[in-house]
């Protein structure tokens, strides 16, 4: 909605990644796992881009995960929009999107 575009909106983002951590765990080697800071950076960057649909933002996040996180096997992203401007008492609306490397 126009007002939301002007004043902004808070969102909640949950990320679930499937990664084979066995080499990282065996060798105590960060380069063989996924750095949480990278995940956070990608989510923050994509959430800061103005978009009409949370579905579009979620798809962009997953695309970047797939392109930038080489050890990721699959990912699920849920974006929640609290107190949506719809008729009724609704806590939030959300979309859940998933992708795999294969």
Query: Does the annotation mark 63 as catalytic?
Result: no
Q: Catalytic residue among 32, 66, 80, 81, which?
A: 81
Nearest to 55 by CA among 98, 16, 91, 87: 98
Q: Decide the pairing of beta strands 92-100 and 72-82.
A: antiparallel
Q: Indicate which residues carry an active-site annotation.
A: 81
């Amino acid at each position: 909605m126009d007002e939301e575009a002007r004043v902004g909106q808070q969102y909640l983002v949950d990320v679930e990644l499937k990664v084979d951590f066995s080499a990282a765990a065996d060798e105590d080697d960060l380069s063989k796992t996924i750095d949480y800071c990278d995940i956070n950076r990608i989510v923050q960057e994509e959430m800061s881009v103005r978009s009409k649909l949370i579905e579009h933002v979620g798809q962009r996040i997953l695309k970047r995960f797939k392109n930038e996180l080489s050890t990721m096997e699959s990912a699920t992203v849920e974006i929640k929009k609290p107190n949506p401007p719809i008729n009724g008492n609704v806590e939030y609306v959300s979309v859940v999107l998933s992708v795999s490397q294969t």
